[in-house]
């Protein structure tokens, strides 16, 4: 560990990317630049935002403005009822065994017909502004589809940044698992919407969580935030406001909702600016 501040960027689809970028820009406009974090943890949507944020090639304003472009040419995906039912079945069969749940979801993902892995990688390659690991510490989460184990990719782990982000964004049943060094990986959000526990040891932590829900097998952002607090960290957890949830809509994978989500994040940032400033400057959130 190096430094004291950590920024955790959770999963939440294309709308999650938009909302997080809006939130980051809004907080920066209020004087709280979270891009200075000593550690950035990115899960799924958060891995995309984290990779862009730490690249040093985009300001938070530019990152926000990228979310406002025309999305009409982008394909619309959806977590359909059948896929959600498979998640629920895997959870029911796994009972209290979280690793077993992740293995069952991994098996479902490996068996699903979700298109070409190569094509999906091209989409993520175009989305990133750099394919090189940043100097600042960035951790990207994914789950091994066979073992259900968490993989925390970072600089020096032997895997490329594009590999890590593509793996972290491999939503089971929607996108194909991603092959990295001969292993198959699925979305890090299958373990946790934020994987905020990876910020353990850092004194000041801000968590942006587009998805606030959890379960007995998938700890919620609030549960993970409380555990960090119990360990002595000062933590600010931010989730979408009612207005932001309305802007996000029901399908987080719809490109048309990304811009409204970004604007909602920008507007919501004002509500949290004072708390964020107090924490980031060393006070209590």
Active site (catalytic) residues = 44, 187
Phi and psi angles of residue 250, each rounded to the nearest 5 degrees, phi first? -90, -25
- By the 10 Å C-beta count (0-12 exposed, 13-18 middle, 19+ buried), 50 is classed as buried
Pairwise CA distance, residues 278 & 285, whole Å: 6
State which H helix or E strand residue 205 sits in. Answer: strand 204-208
C-alpha dist (Å) from residue 248 to 1, 18, 244, 253: 35, 9, 6, 10
In sequence order, the 6+-apart residues with CB closer than 8 A to the CB of 237 are 207, 209, 221, 222, 225
User: Is-contact 139 93, C-beta < 8 A?
Assistant: no
CA distance 231 to 258: 35
- Helix (H) or strand (E) holding 60, with range, is helix 60-66
- CA dist 213 and 221 (Å) reads 7
In angstroms, the CA 260 to CA 271 distance is: 18
């Amino acid at each position: 560990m190096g430094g004291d501040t950590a920024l955790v960027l959770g999963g939440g689809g294309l709308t999650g990317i938009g909302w997080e970028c809006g939130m980051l820009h809004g907080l920066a406009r209020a004087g709280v630049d979270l891009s200075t974090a000593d550690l950035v943890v990115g899960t799924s949507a958060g891995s995309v935002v984290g990779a862009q944020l730490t690249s040093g090639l985009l300001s938070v304003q530019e990152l926000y403005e990228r979310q406002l472009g025309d999305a009409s040419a982008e394909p619309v995906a959806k977590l359909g009822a059948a896929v959600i039912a498979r998640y629920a079945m895997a959870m029911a069969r796994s009972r209290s065994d979280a690793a077993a749940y992740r293995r069952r979801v991994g098996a479902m993902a490996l068996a699903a017909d979700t298109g070409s892995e190569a094509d999906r990688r091209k989409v993520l390659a175009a989305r990133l502004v750099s394919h090189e690991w940043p100097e600042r510490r960035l951790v990207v989460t994914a789950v091994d589809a066979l073992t259900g184990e968490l993989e925390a990719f970072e600089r020096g782990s032997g895997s490329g940044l594009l590999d890590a982000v593509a793996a972290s964004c491999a939503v089971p049943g929607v996108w194909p698992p991603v092959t990295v060094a001969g292993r198959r990986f699925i979305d890090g959000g299958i373990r946790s919407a934020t994987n905020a526990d990876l910020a353990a040891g850092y004194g000041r932590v801000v968590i942006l969580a587009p998805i606030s829900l959890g379960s007995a097998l998938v700890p919620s952002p609030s549960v993970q935030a409380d555990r960090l607090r119990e360990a002595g960290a000062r933590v600010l957890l931010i989730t979408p406001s009612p207005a932001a949830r309305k802007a996000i809509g029901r399908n987080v994978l719809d490109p048309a909702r990304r811009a409204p989500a970004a604007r909602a994040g920008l507007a919501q940032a004002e509500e949290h600016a004072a708390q964020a400033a107090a924490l980031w400057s060393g006070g209590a959130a």
